[in-house]
Amino acid sequence: MEDLPVIDLSVYFQDPTSDAAVAECRKAAEALREYGALVVRDPRVTEQDNQCFLDMVEDYFGQPEEQKLKDVRPELGYQVGATPGLKEAPKCGTDAHCQKIIARMPEECRPQPINGPDPKWRFFWRIGEQPESSQFPQLNADPVVPEGFPTWETTMNNWGGHMHRAVLAVAELAAVGFGLPADAFTSLAKGGAHLLAPTATDLSVHNKAGTVLAGFHYDFNLLTIHGKSRFPGLFIWPRNGSKKMAVRVPDGCLLVQAGREMEWLTGGVVEAGYHEVIVSEATVKAIEHAKETRPDRPLWRISSTFFLHIASDSLLRPLLASNDPQVASQYPEMLTGHYVQRELAGISLLADAPAFD
């Protein structure tokens, strides 16, 4: 286990032009380049808000399956509402590039084998302003509000708003750290299809050490941010290399990971970080502890995940200058909506996406 760099946003908030703030910006950019991830401390975010969110989402997923299925919207690529377990298939289970990355790893650092779709459920809840118009209405649909949860909108918007503000700040720091204008990323993300996207797995069923909850994959958005889960099990591979790290998030902090849209905008200077979630030995211990201390609560592993996206109608293209012709060919200019549709098709959530050229 290795600790990720910790970024203190309060330094930037006090004076973004100070030497200390500029140092934090460079630290954030370097962390994303070297690890594809960082830990952030935001004084505006409280652990109490995270716990309130986790309690409600546990109650939601602890319902009978037939109740949750009312909130599924396959016609929208599952981009709002619930996604059932065994629906989302990790792209790396079949992707040739992923398979090459895994084959280069030492045996002891390889991810768990992917044997079909993930058992995890999801719930996608839109956060932030929706665009007035878009070529991609399917990716910018209205939210789904579950029955029987009168505080759902308030709680989701409260925690999602915290995550949104925190990850926008990280995007600003990273832009400055890379020598770009502070709004280089955030201006493109305005009106994006940002999603508070808790994943949920029933640990009363999927609880044996080595069980894959979310198979080896990368996120295809700009930046992903998480609050602290009640159950460990997340592992990352910095720079897609031979080192496998168990993620440890200090109390009161948030985890940020780079996605494929960030890789695209930096022309590969930042690589989308590969990661997996499994039932580890630490997860098993946490399950036993939960049974003893919270016997009346649903035994579900919840992640308080938030996806920050570039807006569907914004162009994806490298922003950092490069004389390497391969950068332009590997990261061609395209609308983000087209890119997202193709990624959704690659994980079995959208059937009618256009194929890559």
SS3 content of the chain, % helix, strand, coil (to 5): 40, 20, 45
Q: What is the mean pLDDT of residues 335-354?
A: 78
Residue type, 354: P
At residue 296, the pLDDT reads 95
Q: pTM for the complete prediction?
A: 0.93
CATH number of the domain at 6-346, please? 2.60.120.330
Amino acid letter for position 345: A
Q: What is the pLDDT of residues 56-97, one digit of tens each?
A: 999 999 999 999 999 999 988 888 999 999 998 888 888 888
**For 228-269, how does the pLDDT look when each residue is reduced to its tens digit (9 = 90+)?**
999 999 999 987 566 899 998 888 899 999 999 999 999 999
Identify whether the C-beta of residue 45 lies closer than 8 Å to the C-beta of residue 254: yes
Supply 153's token pair.
């909108």
CB 231 within 8 A of CB 160: no
Q: Which residues pair with 202 in a beta bridge?
A: 300
